[in-house]
Amino acid sequence: SQTIHQWPATLVQPVGSPLSLECTVEGTSNPNLYWYRQAAGRGLQLLFYSVGIGQISSEVPQNLSASRPQDRQFILSSKKLLLSDSGFYLCAWRRGVINEQFFGPGTRLTVL
Amino acid sequence: AQTVTQSQPEMSVQEAETVTLSCTYDTSENNYYLFWYKQPPSRQMILVIRQEAYKQQNATENRFSVNFQKAAKSFSLKISDSQLGDTAMYFCAFCPVAGGGNKLTFGTGTQLKVEL
């Protein structure tokens, strides 16, 4: 069966510091991968998606970036965090032709 | 671009009763999928049910069923025999079949509270 992992689960970072969030998927190959952000009390905003290694599409211009160095690894990064980057970050993968997306447990990021 | 609207920010229901959550969407696509996701206090997003737009029959998953009205662009979720564990934020989501990335567009969510 497929599983998706995210770490860390919780992160508190000062403004201006770098960021690296990691997402890995097990039990599948060549998945579509997605990064979402959820602000407090709001829906999910798609940040990036990837259809393959090294292929990244950005949905929202911001100071975040994403990379996919391996087939089942998706990384969200920032060189300098802003207060507005605080939120809950979710990684997801897409299964087959049905377009269902399955989500990881998320990372709660607080920027102080 | 697609939009998904959930007009009920909060709802409550008594245990064992039935509740219906509303969702409308706007799209020019003819072929797409619709989903309901549940986000309990743990914040894990859990797929509840999906509907393919080309199917006229409404999807059902145990106590969860949908009322899909394609012409009206409406996709409501009915929860029967509500249980305390159903307390969660529920999100409606749209995904076109065509287009790069197969991206989901989410509504803003409905917070459901099941009460004793």
- Assess contact for B19 and B13: CB atoms under 8 A: yes
User: CA-CA distance, A37 to A47, in Å (whole number)?
Assistant: 7
Which residues in chain B (43-62) have CB-CB distances under 8 A to chain A? 43-47, 50
User: CA-CA distance, B14 to B115, in Å (whole number)?
Assistant: 5
* pLDDT tier for residue A62 given thresholds of 50, 70 and 90: confident
> What pLDDT score does A95 carry?
74
* pLDDT tier for residue B100 given thresholds of 50, 70 and 90: low
Q: Would you call A86 helix, strand, or coil by DSSP?
A: coil
Amino acid at the residue B97: V
User: CA-CA distance, B94 to B97, in Å (whole number)?
Assistant: 10
- CA distance to A58, A93, A97, A101, B19, per residue, from A3 (Å): 24, 10, 18, 12, 31
pLDDT at residue A100 above 90?
A: no
Q: What is the pLDDT of residues B35-70, one digit of tens each?
A: 999 999 989 999 999 999 999 899 999 999 999 999
> To which residue do tokens 């802003």 refer?
A82
Contact B109 A34 (CB under 8 A): no
Q: What is the pLDDT of residues A68-93, one digit of tens each?
A: 999 999 999 999 999 999 999 999 99
Work out how many CB contacts closer than 8 A connect A with B. 55
> What pLDDT score does A97 carry?
66
Mutate to test the interface with B, among A33, A35, A44, A109 (most CBs of B within 10 A): A44
Contacts of A42 in chain B (CB under 8 A): 108-109
Average pLDDT for chain B: 94
Q: How far is A6 from chain B (nearest CA, A)?
A: 12
Give yes or no for B79 touching A (CB within 8 A): no
* pLDDT tier for residue B103 given thresholds of 50, 70 and 90: confident
Q: What is the pLDDT of residues A9-56, one digit of tens each?
A: 999 999 999 999 999 999 988 899 999 999 876 789 999 999 999 999
Q: How far is A92 from chain B (nearest CA, A)?
A: 9
* pLDDT tier for residue A98 given thresholds of 50, 70 and 90: low
- Assess contact for A96 and A71: CB atoms under 8 A: no
Q: What is the pLDDT of residues B1-11, one digit of tens each?
A: 789 999 999 99
